[in-house]
Structure 1
Amino acid sequence: MMASHISSLIKCRRAAAAAEMAMVTPLLIALMFGSFELGNYFLSEHVVVKAVRDGARYAGRLGFSNYSCVDDDDGNIPGGTVVADTRNLVRTGQLTGGSARLVGWTDPETIKVTYDCVDPHSVTPSYSGIYNSMSYVPVVKVEIATDNANRLVYQSLFNRLGFDSSALYLNAASQSPVTGL
């Protein structure tokens, strides 16, 4: 009698779909939340790349008086309020005030603003036009800091649930020749 019950349970298919769903559901949930997280990471990276590009474009349009080029030199710091204004523009999208483009992007030190002095004839194609009378052309660089103290940490969608994203960083860099417009 007991053998007949066991064989009837083995042959019964009424709960097969529920059992299969119970086995597959954790995988589907992990895949779904992983897709959300990956999408958020790519969105955050896009926001940072666009912000850095905007900052380089802004700093490149400032006057030549902020960029002193007397020799072929790299890593110079612009004068005036170029660094502070560019950092705020990159971080918030505005020259003064504003809220951060990304959650947790509160430290302006994550943004480096420097410029290099480039011989206009050392690059191909060579600089011409407004640069004809210049011995060196200032090229401003805006980038997210890569030193460990000032790196821009990615903020996970699921940090509050205990997922640690402190080992993921957002990076971007852009440069623009100074036009003084």
Structure 2
Amino acid sequence: MMCLRIYALRDDGAAAAEMALMLPLLLVMLFGGFEAGHYLYTEQKIVQAVREGARYAGRRPFSDYPCPGNGTTPAADAIRNVTQTGTISGGTSRIANWDKNLITVTYTCNISYAGQGIFKGNAGGAPVVTVTAAATYPSLFGALGLIDGTYQVRSSAQAVVNGI
């Protein structure tokens, strides 16, 4: 009986026991922080890519966007390349396994600016280009099965065509 009381009063292994209890929670917080940071980084890359694609589209000539009319432009492939890779000719994608088909380029004609300012020669008005992109989120820890491959990061940007 006396032996058990001696062990009950000792606290030699208390720190190790507390660490063993807290380690799973700390690991979940650590890897969760990594995953959240990677998601935000991926989202920022998508936002930056569609803005760059819209800026490029806005500097294309008016002839690429016949107004009146809506829909797709003959320059859509070049705009998709700029959005996906940052270059007109294509290359390495900004995000791993980014499918180019998930980037859409459309335009509409804003008739309220017809014949005014830089749109003086455009009877159909001001073309406004919209670049929309989605990318499957490449999870850092996808191999662990925590996040499946169905999550997508999306963004959209618009630009008025300046006809430069």
Same fold (TM over 0.5): yes
CA RMSD of aligned residues (A): 1.9
Tell me what 2:79 maps to. 86
> Given the alignment of the two structures, is residue 30 of structure 1 paired with residue 28 of structure 2, yes or no?
yes
Deviation, structure 1 residue 98: 1.4
Tell me what 2:129 maps to. 140
Q: Do 1:155 and 1:165's aligned partners in 2 also have CA atoms closer than 8 Å? A: no
Deviation, structure 1 residue 152: 2.0
Counterparts in 2 of 1:127 and 1:49: CA distance versus 1, 3 Å? farther
Distance 2:122 2:141 in 1: 52
Tell me what 2:94 maps to. 101
Q: Do 2:115 and 2:122's aligned partners in 1 also have CA atoms closer than 8 Å? A: no
Identity of aligned residues (%): 37
Gaps of 5+ in 2: none
Secondary structure, in 3 states, of the residue corresponding to 1:172?
Answer: strand
Query: How many positions carry a matched residue from both structures?
Result: 163
Deviation, structure 1 residue 164: 2.9
- Which residue type is aligned with residue 162 of structure 1? G
Tell me what 2:152 maps to. 169
Secondary structure, in 3 states, of the residue corresponding to 2:109?
Answer: strand
Cα offsets for 1:122-155 (capped at 9, x unmatched): xxxx9952124544110000001xxxxxx52101
Tell me what 1:77 maps to. 72
Q: Do 2:57 and 2:161's aligned partners in 1 also have CA atoms closer than 8 Å? A: yes
Report which of the two has the higher share of helix. 2
Deviation, structure 1 residue 165: 3.1
Gaps of 5+ in 1: 145-150
Distance 2:81 2:92 in 1: 10
- Which residue type is aligned with residue 33 of structure 1? F
Residue 61 (structure 2) aligned to one of 47, 60, 63:
63
Deviation, structure 1 residue 11: 1.2
Q: Do 1:120 and 1:131's aligned partners in 2 also have CA atoms closer than 8 Å? A: no
Distance 2:39 2:108 in 1: 31
- Which residue type is aligned with residue 84 of structure 1? D
Q: Do 1:156 and 1:164's aligned partners in 2 also have CA atoms closer than 8 Å? A: yes
> Given the alignment of the two structures, is residue 129 of structure 1 paired with residue 117 of structure 2, yes or no?
yes
Counterparts in 2 of 1:134 and 1:169: CA distance versus 1, 3 Å? same
